[in-house]
Structure 1
Amino acid sequence: MTSPQNPPYGTPDTPLLTVRGEAELEVDPEIARIAVTLTARGRDRRTTLDDLTRRNATALDLLKSYGDSVENLSTGALTLTPELEPHRRGERVRTYRGTVRLTAELTDFAALGELATRLADLELTRVDGPWWDLRPTSPAHRTARRHAVHDAVQRAREYAEALDTTVAALLELTDTATGGPRPRSAFDRHTVRFSRAAADAEPQDPEPLDLEPQRIQVHAEVTARFTMNPPAL
């Protein structure tokens, strides 16, 4: 509740000063996220489903073999779609197409390139990513917020100093930042996409990709309302 000595509006005796404080930090990412899409196609529904189940199990076994390097692993949408014969009457199925999507979050970036390459080497498997990010509990968020508050206080003092007076009291502090961490530039939001079609002969193990982490920008913004001691104008 606002006291009579500090009303929520400016008066000659208690001038109101509203400022914005901002902070922008550039930090290393904490997690890398990749998406794995497995596909199976065939004329028989059961055979297609069995192929998809086998490929899903192979991909999961590979991901789990990296132990604690994979912090989170989840299965997304599973689809099995009949594709009808074009330009034909009736419901004659031409083929079945099944897909399943996996999402993995890694904290060991040294293993990321090897794992992504091995996943992409699986038959009818597509890999998208990586997307670099911070944990919601990352201390970088707290640091950015503190810097934004300090920036608001510093700005208020500078405006008051320009009037040969000082800041008296804080009336309100509002967190006005929107959005989360973002990659360093627009180019960094692009993803690497690679896949391998089914093949009769098994190739040799591919050379692992060298995936360099992209630094993350963390933004914080606050709006602060102060009262000032009345200046002598």
Structure 2
Amino acid sequence: MTPTTDQPADLPYGTPRTPRVAVRGEAHLEVDPEIARIGITVTARGTDRRTALDDLTRRNTTVLDLIKTYGDTVENLQTGTFSITPQLTRHGRTERVRAYHGTVHITAELTDFTALGELTTRLADLELTQVDGPWWALRPDSPAHTLARRQAVREAVQRAREYADALGTHLAALVELADIGTDDTTPFFPPAPRGAVRSFAGTAAPEQDAAPLDLEPQRQTVTARVDARFTMHPPQL
């Protein structure tokens, strides 16, 4: 014989004996960025394929060597796409190669924003080198995300308590907690925003080092949301 129990079934909805309250908790934090990214595009062009490729290799090496001199302040350095493309010109019924155009795309992430301003200026001074950015961001495991989630949970609990108090009762138990999402409103690597550094140096060598850029970090907005459901002790209505 199966023993019986007086415990009520765990119903997916509230009852007069175990009313439920559902709330949402949100948190919005404004925090300083932790990393900054810049994009570097190295370009070469020549009427001979080998000359264009040699120039591109030399300029790419110069850029990488310069970035590496900043040591641990550069958290990540990687080469993206590389291309060497013939540019054609049409003469009558035939086509011939007019020039070869080569590019290499590089991205760098820095944690020292003072060094960032200096490096950005020095890169922009290099021959046929384009600089885009900076893009400010938080690390995926930033403590700011944890703090936002904690605040969202606390707000959900506080809001549920206020509803229960308005009914002259108090909460009994947590039934469900759902993570709606924690996000950084700044895309990880978006297109160059308005006002971003964007420079394309010419072929002439600079006479002297340019003054470092004074870059003001853009504060990041972190948002967290949770849905929570609680049971309450039956109110006396």
With normalisation by structure 2, the TM-score equals 0.90
Give 1:88 deviation, angstroms: 4.7
Alignment-derived partner of residue 202 in structure 2? 197
Q: Is the CA contact (8 Å cut-off) linking 1:134 and 1:181 kept in structure 2?
A: no
Could you list the per-position Cα deviations for residues 116-168 of structure 1 after superposition, in whole angstroms to 9, with x for gaps in the alignment?
A: 00000001111011111111111111111000000000000001111111111
Alignment-derived partner of residue 47 in structure 1? 51
Alignment-derived partner of residue 141 in structure 1? 145
Alignment-derived partner of residue 85 in structure 1? 89
Give me the CA root mean square deviation: 1.8
From 112, 119, 126, the counterpart of 1:115: 119
5+ long unaligned stretches in structure 1:
none
Distance in 1 (CA, whole Å) between partners of 2:206 and 2:159 is: 65
Q: Is the CA contact (8 Å cut-off) linking 1:8 and 1:171 kept in structure 2?
A: no
From 204, 211, 216, the counterpart of 1:212: 216
5+ long unaligned stretches in structure 2:
1-6
Could you list the per-position Cα deviations for residues 51-91 of structure 1 after superposition, in whole angstroms to 9, with x for gaps in the alignment?
A: 11000000000000011111110000001111111465334
Distance in 1 (CA, whole Å) between partners of 2:224 and 2:211 is: 40
Q: Is the CA contact (8 Å cut-off) linking 1:133 and 1:181 kept in structure 2?
A: no
Distance in 2 (CA, whole Å) between partners of 1:86 and 1:178 is: 55
Distance in 1 (CA, whole Å) between partners of 2:182 and 2:37 is: 22
Q: Is the CA contact (8 Å cut-off) linking 1:164 and 1:232 kept in structure 2?
A: yes
Could you list the per-position Cα deviations for residues 21-58 of structure 1 after superposition, in whole angstroms to 9, with x for gaps in the alignment?
A: 00111111111110001111111111111111000000
Matched, 1:37 2:41: yes
Alignment-derived partner of residue 66 in structure 1? 70
With over 3 angstroms needed to count, the CA separation of the structure-2 counterparts of 1:212 and 1:69, relative to structure 1, is: same
Larger radius of gyration: 2
Distance in 1 (CA, whole Å) between partners of 2:152 and 2:101 is: 51
The letter for the 2-side match of 1:193 is R
Q: How many residues align?
A: 226
Matches within 5 A, 1:167-178: 167-177=171-181
Percent of residue pairs identical: 67
With normalisation by structure 1, the TM-score equals 0.91
The letter for the 2-side match of 1:12 is P
Distance in 2 (CA, whole Å) between partners of 1:89 and 1:66 is: 53
